[in-house]
């Protein structure tokens, strides 16, 4: 009888008139819903061309205009994308997986439910399933009741899964696989919605992107995608965000997975294109099966092999990790609702902790009430679980006791496990992500915590309000599947579901649910308040994390003040002029400083090689309005202040690079850390007609720093810093500028100590003769066609009106032939009337410091000149050019220098040092004991261009008894260093340890090295902070020299001590260099 009734209903359904909707691709024919008379369904609507054959693994292709023709009947649910079929008899699993016959590789389709009187709101749903399984057509996600109740149009989007959606292989090669095409599928679907939804009664400006689990991660990923920013207005993210550790993998891990898969499927042919073509011809089911059989062991423990990569050139257009840390959203106007369930990790526990080590296996063939299905964890099991957390969170062994202590307040060991894994795997990352959006004031931010265990839930009761089961109430499951509930409970379940759907609908329509909140909190769900079952409110961390365990895990010890202006923007007529102090009321009643300081204008780097790219800001991060700083203030500052000046030849760099992020240095040491910006290149160091009215005096970049230091002196006390404990810290050209302030009358009272790494103002490349820089500016005026007037002021005015990018580019192309080979055109001049107030060369010879009381820490790296060799010695004679299109281990990147090449280097040294030809043999004699020509060149260039000038400068300070003087020699090659191995402990790579880069970016290190790298970094940070605090690090030196870093003494990696000439120059070569400079000089030196 029941079959007959269903048949009659089906025939009646078929006899209904189709509902036609005109779209950009033709006419769609919808059908009336079986479930309710108030909804029309458009099922299995294509939004992209089928990704078959040569389109497998590729970007989705938009539909042509006439794809639907005069009427595509959309009455069959979207096919699930290809995945490994799961055959379970247990309903708790079976209902979350599509059946095999419902899968297809032709799956880029939508299911759309349109209510009778749509209110304009549109809910676009992304299902979860670890990026590898699931379907928009599961019964659990039926959009009929949600559409009817909320009057929002509900759209479930399909996207490619697993290897089909997230393969990544040779992305930089033509025809390679770029990764993240599953995210591009969603983006194309959102474009379809934007272009067509108005014809269904929806408002393209009221689109809410809603995702659960990995769907929540992908929904929030669109906040960072330039191509998605205009396609949605709100986000609901349940049980996942793109910030979750499981949400993305490092590119090289997914690349490795695809290479392994190529081997498993016997597609390891000669060229990558042949390999990809072979993979495109493998049967879809076999491809999915093999892809599910392994994963890279270094991936996060909840991840499958093929997931979104965190860096691409098609969706994120950059590095997601960097974007998140810099709050680099491309969508700034967005409302967010962040959701979680009370017992998030219970499903994870039974799915992943089922082997003998953890003992939480479920037998799906037995009753869920049996004792063996109650996850009876022992103390030994629990200890293993804590260690699993520690390994995957990359925590030290010292975290074992604090983690256990944190969760001791929960009763049994099973409950402790559940709470710990819920926090580490789900809740804390969700809370932190929502906190960032709230802090950025991007829109309204709400939260919900689903605490009710569904009465249709077939899993053991101890698993509570499980991951994913909030979806049943949001999609009205008690209405669509009443048979799954007991009759006595059904009405109450429907009541709860209705109230939750009203909240979701209110958020989708307005982004503001104040009214819904009030109604919900006053309502009863059965015998108790609804809020006991579904906690809902305006987001703050305390509400979201009522127990406070996430606060203990990610306690915000640092307050960031980012992009703080310290001078009037040097724009228009202020270009090439002295920096102007801020007026008293510049910040008004509250300036929000939550975006990193913009890099000053420079020529953008176009190299993709990580060893270069990471030291340059991106073009969109640059501005001429850049006189700002970033400041990190620890919870309990100890008074010491470190002001950092970045280096990079006076022409490029930024205080906002990841390498200089002050979070960990401040957090680990209690020091306030400030990274200061200043004008670069021609903007900061132009010099032209300085003695004429309106001329350009030179050294403006140094004046910028001086004004920044004044701001610090005047204001740092309000942040907990001591203006008498300011340490000026510079690297490379930044160190040259830091030491320049010793000669500047206006700076003498603004700092107490100096750390100078790999540079001083005494270095030959640190300053230029004023006449050279003046000639460079004259040449630049001519190149930019600003020489049309006979009056110099007109020339300058013209130059002030040239576009900043054109000015930087042209300035980069010129250089006076007499300048030092390590110099660019515009650098500090050695004589001025605004900063040095005289001739720096004379001051140095006469020891004419204006700051006489100063503690000094001089630093160098073991292989200072290797970077110079790879970048500057580019001609065929030296054979030392780095080819960035080859791997760094390629034989062509090993600087295989010949005797002829070495002679070229020695001649270069003699020319730049203004030495006679008679100096060539003595120079060679100094380095004759080094084995290879490359090593001889490296040692010679390191001495002449870096070490010996550092030694001479420090020797004077030490002899003058100006304060405590210490040195360090950084000898450890960072395991994250991407340059060729021969380049050793390179120039500037000491910064990674001083700023705590192994803590900040642990993924850049091999797991086996990470612990040692963190140890070295922490010990070095303690040395730096001790110096900043007291100026005397005798105790730190003793502790450091007695410590081990990994398997060897720390002093083997970072030599540290009280300065004397012998310690700093252990090989004694600088003594020989000094002798050669004096004996063979043929004219006055540059200084």
Q: Helices (H), strands (E): how many in the chain?
A: 41, 33
Give the per-residue pLDDT at 12. 43
CA–CA dist 724, 640 (Å, integer)? 8
Give the per-residue pLDDT at 656. 95
Fold of 2-333: Rossmann fold (3.40.50)
Give the per-residue pLDDT at 13. 47
Give the per-residue pLDDT at 171. 95
Over range 394-412, report the average pLDDT.
82
Sorting pLDDT into bands at 50, 70 and 90, what band is 7?
very low
Q: Do β-strands 753-757 and 26-32 pair in parallel, antiparallel, or remain unpaired?
A: unpaired
Read off the DSSP letter of residue 144. Answer: H
Give the per-residue pLDDT at 5. 39
CA–CA dist 882, 980 (Å, integer)? 9
Q: Which of 755, 994, 995, 732 is nearest to 867 (CA)?
A: 732
CA–CA dist 662, 655 (Å, integer)? 10
Over range 846-851, report the average pLDDT.
84
Spatial contact of 960 and 852, defined as CB atoms under 8 Å apart: yes
349-354: list long-range contacts, CB under 8 Å, 24+ apart.
349/375, 349/417, 349/418, 349/421, 350/375, 350/459, 350/463, 352/301, 352/302, 353/385, 353/417
In a 3-state reduction of DSSP, which class is residue 450?
Answer: strand
* Domain ranges for the chain: 2-333, 339-552, 558-853, 858-1079
Give the per-residue pLDDT at 1035. 87
Whether the per-residue pLDDT at 557 is higher than 80: the answer is: no
734-791: pLDDT as tens digits:
999 999 999 999 999 999 999 999 999 999 999 999 999 999 999 999 999 999 888 9
CATH number of 339-552: 3.40.50.1820
Whether the per-residue pLDDT at 311 is higher than 70: the answer is: yes
912-938: pLDDT as tens digits:
999 999 999 999 999 999 999 999 999
Q: Which H helix or E strand runs over 406?
A: helix 400-406
Residue 706 phi/psi, 5-degree rounding, is -60, -40
In a 3-state reduction of DSSP, which class is residue 969?
Answer: strand
Check residue 563 and give left, alpha or beta (phi > 0: left; psi -120 to 50: alpha): left
Over range 500-522, report the average pLDDT.
93
Residue 66: count other Cβ atoms within 10 Å of its Cβ.
10
Q: Do β-strands 26-32 and 19-23 pair in parallel, antiparallel, or remain unpaired?
A: antiparallel
941 CB-near residues (< 8 Å, 6+ apart): 864, 865, 868, 869, 905, 909
CA–CA dist 281, 123 (Å, integer)? 36
Whether the per-residue pLDDT at 555 is higher than 50: the answer is: no
Spatial contact of 111 and 137, defined as CB atoms under 8 Å apart: yes
Which has more pLDDT, 109 or 611?
A: 109
474 CB-near residues (< 8 Å, 6+ apart): 146, 497, 500, 501, 504
CA–CA dist 150, 148 (Å, integer)? 6
Count of residues for the chain? 1087
Alpha helices in 681-720 (DSSP H): 681-685, 700-715
Read off the DSSP letter of residue 425. Answer: I
Sorting pLDDT into bands at 50, 70 and 90, what band is 551?
low
Read off the DSSP letter of residue 139. Answer: G
690-747: pLDDT as tens digits:
999 999 999 999 999 999 999 999 999 999 999 999 999 999 999 999 999 999 999 9
1026-1043: pLDDT as tens digits:
999 999 999 889 888 888
CA dihedral 33→35→37→41, nearest 10 degrees, is -20
> Looking at the DSSP assignment, which residues form a beta bridge with residue 301?
none
Q: Which of 673, 686, 604 is nearest to 637 (CA)?
A: 673
Sorting pLDDT into bands at 50, 70 and 90, what band is 1087?
very low
Over range 480-506, report the average pLDDT.
94
DSSP per position, 85-97: ----SSHHHHTTS
248-261: pLDDT as tens digits:
999 999 999 999 99
Over range 516-520, report the average pLDDT.
89
Give the per-residue pLDDT at 417. 95
Which has more pLDDT, 354 or 47?
A: 47
Give the per-residue pLDDT at 15. 45
Domain 558-853 has CATH 3.30.930.10: no
Sorting pLDDT into bands at 50, 70 and 90, what band is 6?
very low
Over range 144-169, report the average pLDDT.
98
CA distances from 332 to 316, 324, 430, 513, 742 (A): 15, 13, 18, 20, 44
Q: What does the mean pLDDT of the chain come to?
A: 92
Half-sphere exposure at residue 842, Cβ-oriented, CA atoms within 13 angstroms? 6
Spatial contact of 1081 and 914, defined as CB atoms under 8 Å apart: yes
Query: Do the domains 558-853 and 858-1079 sit in the same CATH topology, yes or no?
Result: yes
CA dihedral 573→579→582→586, nearest 10 degrees, is 50
Q: Angle at Cα 891 formed by Cα 888 and Cα 893, nearest 5°?
A: 45
Percent of the chain with pLDDT over 70: 97
In a 3-state reduction of DSSP, which class is residue 697?
Answer: strand
Tokens describing residue 421: 């894994």
CA distances from 418 to 72, 214, 935, 1029 (A): 49, 20, 57, 44
Give the per-residue pLDDT at 553. 59
In a 3-state reduction of DSSP, which class is residue 366?
Answer: coil
What's 1004-1060 look like in SS3? HCCHHHHHHHHHHHHHHHHHHHHHHHHCCCHHHHHHHHHCEECCEEHHHCEEEEECC
Whether the per-residue pLDDT at 636 is higher than 60: the answer is: yes
Which has more pLDDT, 69 or 113?
A: 113
Over range 2-17, report the average pLDDT.
46
CA–CA dist 158, 52 (Å, integer)? 15
Give the per-residue pLDDT at 224. 96
Residue 967 phi/psi, 5-degree rounding, is -140, 160
582 CB-near residues (< 8 Å, 6+ apart): 565, 566, 567, 568, 711
Over range 461-467, report the average pLDDT.
96
Over range 863-886, report the average pLDDT.
84
Over range 18-43, report the average pLDDT.
96
Tokens describing residue 916: 């006679």
Domain 858-1079 has CATH 3.40.50.1820: yes
Give the per-residue pLDDT at 9. 46
Sorting pLDDT into bands at 50, 70 and 90, what band is 961?
confident
Sorting pLDDT into bands at 50, 70 and 90, what band is 104?
very high
546 CB-near residues (< 8 Å, 6+ apart): none
CA–CA dist 1040, 1027 (Å, integer)? 13
Spatial contact of 161 and 132, defined as CB atoms under 8 Å apart: yes
Give the per-residue pLDDT at 845. 86
């Amino acid at each position: 009888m029941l079959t007959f009734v269903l048949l009659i209903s089906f025939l009646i359904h078929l006899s209904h008139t189709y509902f036609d909707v005109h779209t950009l691709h033709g006419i769609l024919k919808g059908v009336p819903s079986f479930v309710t008379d108030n909804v029309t369904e458009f099922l299995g609507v294509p939004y992209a061309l089928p990704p078959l054959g040569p389109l497998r693994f590729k970007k989705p292709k938009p539909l042509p205009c006439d794809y639907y023709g005069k009427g595509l009947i959309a009455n069959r649910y979207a096919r699930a994308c290809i995945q490994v079929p799961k055959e379970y008899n247990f309903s708790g699993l079976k209902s979350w997986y599509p059946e095999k016959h419902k899968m297809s590789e032709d799956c880029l389709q939508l299911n759309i439910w349109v209510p009778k009187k749509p209110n304009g709101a549109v809910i676009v749903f992304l299902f979860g399933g670890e990026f590898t399984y699931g379907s928009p057509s599961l019964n659990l996600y039926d959009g009929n009741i949600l559409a009817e109740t909320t009057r929002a149009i509900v759209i479930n989007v399909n996207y490619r899964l697993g290897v089909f959606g997230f393969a990544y292989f040779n992305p930089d090669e033509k025809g390679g696989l770029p990764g993240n095409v599953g995210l591009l599928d969603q983006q194309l679907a959102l474009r379809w919605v934007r272009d067509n939804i108005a014809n269904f009664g929806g408002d393209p400006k009221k689109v809410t992107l809603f995702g659960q689990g990995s769907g929540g991660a992908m929904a929030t990923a669109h906040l960072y995608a330039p191509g998605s920013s205009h396609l949605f207005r709100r986000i609901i993210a349940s049980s996942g965000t793109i910030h979750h550790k499981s949400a993305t993998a490092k590119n090289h891990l997914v690349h490795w997975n695809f290479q392994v898969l190529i081997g498993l499927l016997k597609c390891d042919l000669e060229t990558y294109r042949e390999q990809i073509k072979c993979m495109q011809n493998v049967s879809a089911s076999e491809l999915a099966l093999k892809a599910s059989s392994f994963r890279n062991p270094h991936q996060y423990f909840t991840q499958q092999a093929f997931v979104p990569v965190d860096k691409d050139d098609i969706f994120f257009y950059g590095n997601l990790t960097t974007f998140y840390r810099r709050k680099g959203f491309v969508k700034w106007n967005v409302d967010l609702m962040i959701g979680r369930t009370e017992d998030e990790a219970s499903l994870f526990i039974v799915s992943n902790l089922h082997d003998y080590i953890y003992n939480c296996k479920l037998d799906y063939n037995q009753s869920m009430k049996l004792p063996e299905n109650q996850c009876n964890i022992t103390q030994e099991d629990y200890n293993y679980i804590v260690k699993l957390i520690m390994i995957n969170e990359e925590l030290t062994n010292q975290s074992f006791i604090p983690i256990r202590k944190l969760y001791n307040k929960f009763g049994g060991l099973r409950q402790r496990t559940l709470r710990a894994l819920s926090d580490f795997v789900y809740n804390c990352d969700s809370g932190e992500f929502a906190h960032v959006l709230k802090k950025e004031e991007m829109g309204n931010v709400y939260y919900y915590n689903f605490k009710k265990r569904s009465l249709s839930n077939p899993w053991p009761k101890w698993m509570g309000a499980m991951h994913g089961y909030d979806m049943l109430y949001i999609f009205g499951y008690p209405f669509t599947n009443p048979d799954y509930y007991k009759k006595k409970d059904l009405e109450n379940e429907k009541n709860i579901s209705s109230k939750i759907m009203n909240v979701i609908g209110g958020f989708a329509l307005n982004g503001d649910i104040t009214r819904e909140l009030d109604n919900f909190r006053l309502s009863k769900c059965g015998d108790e308040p609804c809020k006991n079952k579904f906690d809902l409110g305006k987001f703050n961390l305390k509400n979201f994390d009522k127990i406070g365990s996430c606060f203990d895990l990610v306690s915000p010890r640092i307050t960031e003040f980012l992009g703080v202006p310290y001078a009037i923007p040097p724009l228009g007529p202020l270009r090439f002029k002295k920096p102007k102090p801020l007026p008293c009321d510049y910040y008004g009643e509250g300036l929000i400083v939550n975006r990193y300081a913009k890099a000053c204008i420079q020529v953008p780097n176009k190299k993709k090689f990580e060893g270069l790219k990471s030291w340059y800001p991106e073009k969109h991060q640059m501005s001429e309005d850049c006189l700002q700083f970033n400041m990190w203030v620890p919870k309990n500052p100890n008074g010491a202040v470190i002001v950092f000046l970045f280096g990079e030849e006076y022409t490029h760099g930024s205080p906002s690079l990841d390498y200089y992020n002050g979070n960990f240095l401040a957090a680990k040491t209690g020091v306030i850390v400030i990274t200061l910006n200043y004008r670069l290149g021609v903007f900061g160091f132009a010099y032209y007609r300085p003695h004429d009215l309106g001329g350009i005096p030179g050294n403006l970049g140094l004046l910028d720093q001086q004004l920044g230091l004044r701001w610090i002196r005047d204001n740092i006390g309000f942040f907990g810093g001591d203006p008498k404990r300011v340490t000026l810290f510079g690297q490379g050209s930044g160190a040259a500028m830091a030491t320049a302030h010793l000669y500047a009358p206006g700076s003498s009272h603004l700092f107490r100590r100096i750390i100078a790494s790999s540079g001083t103002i005494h270095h030959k490349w640190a300053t230029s003769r004023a006449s050279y820089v003046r000639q460079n500016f004259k040449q630049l005026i001519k190149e930019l066609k600003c020489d049309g007037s006979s009056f110099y002021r007109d020339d300058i005015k013209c130059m002030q009106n040239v576009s900043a990018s054109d000015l930087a580019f042209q300035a980069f192309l010129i250089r006076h032939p007499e300048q030092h080979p390590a110099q660019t055109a515009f650098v500090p001049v050695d004589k001025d009337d605004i900063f040095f107030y005289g001739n720096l060369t004379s001051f140095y010879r006469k020891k004419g410091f204006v700051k006489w009381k100063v503690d000094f820490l001089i630093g160098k790296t073991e292989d200072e000149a290797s970077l110079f060799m790879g970048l500057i010695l580019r001609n065929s004679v030296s054979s030392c050019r780095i080819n960035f299109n080859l791997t760094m281990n390629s034989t062509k990147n090993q600087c295989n220098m010949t005797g002829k090449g070495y002679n070229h280097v020695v001649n270069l040294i003699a020319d730049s040092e203004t030495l006679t030809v008679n100096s060539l043999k003595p120079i060679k004699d100094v380095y004759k004991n080094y084995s290879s020509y490359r090593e001889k060149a490296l040692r010679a260039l390191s001495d002449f261009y870096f070490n010996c000038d550092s030694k001479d400068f420090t020797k004077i300070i030490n002899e003058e008894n100006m304060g405590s003087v210490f040195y360090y020699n950084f000898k450890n090659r960072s395991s994250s260093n991407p340059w060729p191995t021969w380049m050793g402990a390179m120039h500037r790579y000491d910064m990674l340890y001083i700023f705590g880069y192994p803590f900040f970016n642990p993924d850049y290190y091999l797991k086996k090295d990470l612990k040692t790298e963190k140890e070295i970094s922490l010990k070095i940070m303690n040395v730096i902070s001790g110096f900043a605090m007291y100026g005397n690090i005798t105790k730190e030196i003793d502790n450091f020299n007695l410590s081990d870093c990994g398997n060897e003494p720390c002093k083997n990696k970072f030599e540290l001590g009280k300065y004397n000439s012998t310690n700093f120059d252990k090989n004694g070569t600088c003594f020989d260099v000094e002798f050669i400079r004096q004996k063979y000089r043929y004219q006055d030196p540059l200084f």
